[in-house]
Amino acid sequence: MRVFVAITLSSELKKTITGTLHDLKQKGVKGNYVPVQNLHLTLAFIGETDKPGAVKEALKNVSFKPFRLSLSDMGTFGDVLWVGVKGNQGLSAAAKSVRDALDAAGIAYDRQKFVPHITLVRKAAGSWKQVAAPKGEMTVTKISLMKSAEKNGKMVYTEL
């Protein structure tokens, strides 16, 4: 089973981002658009595991205070278009707590530097810079262990 630890987005934030996705399409940006229901912010990507219960158990040791998550500018990693998140201590602390809990439990995860972002389009092509970045914020009160599975040729993310 393929899993990752994430912050799921509020319906209001998803609505805001949906407007930006429509604008990108109208401006001719091509690529694999992330379905609205799959929009999230990854705190730790674990990948394939046959022990999701151990991951869930490790996440019980994660503690953080609720914090505000605010969208910022758009950017790219290669051909991946994303919207960034304003840096804040609450988000950094939550990501560190997740990673510390996984380390303590001996659970392997992708150790790339944490760069908070929400992926919008994979294999993006076209000029996205004339589209305004979405603006919005939400209060984060929980983190989720998510399962990623292919269903009918599409990725479906499910909270475990």
- pLDDT range class, residue 140, cuts 50, 70, 90: very high
Which pLDDT belongs to residue 137? 95
Beta-carbon contacts of 155 under 8 Å, excluding residues fewer than 6 positions away, are 35, 38, 148, 149
CATH number for 2-149: choose from 3.40.50.12780, 3.40.1800.10, 3.90.1140.10, 3.40.50.720.
3.90.1140.10
Which pLDDT belongs to residue 152? 86
Put residue 152 in one of left, alpha, beta given phi > 0 → left and psi -120 to 50 → alpha: left
pTM of the full structure: 0.91
Q: How many CA atoms lie within 13 A of 79 on its CB side?
A: 10
Percent of the chain with pLDDT over 90: 88
Domain ranges of the chain: 2-149
Which pLDDT belongs to residue 138? 96
Beta-carbon contacts of 115 under 8 Å, excluding residues fewer than 6 positions away, are none
Taking 80 as the threshold, does the pLDDT of residue 9 lie above it?
A: yes
Put residue 74 in one of left, alpha, beta given phi > 0 → left and psi -120 to 50 → alpha: beta
Instruction: Tell me the three state secondary structure of residue 133.
Output: coil
Which pLDDT belongs to residue 124? 96
d(CA 27, CA 126): 8
Six-digit token string for 68: 């505000």
Beta-carbon contacts of 53 under 8 Å, excluding residues fewer than 6 positions away, are none
Beta-carbon contacts of 111 under 8 Å, excluding residues fewer than 6 positions away, are none
Q: How many CA atoms lie within 13 A of 2 on its CB side?
A: 8
Could you give phi then psi for residue 32, rounded to 5 degrees? -95, 100
- pLDDT range class, residue 135, cuts 50, 70, 90: very high
Specify the higher pLDDT residue, 30 or 88: 30
pLDDT tens-place string over residues 53-98: 999 999 998 988 999 999 999 999 999 999 999 878 999 999 999 9
Which pLDDT belongs to residue 102? 96
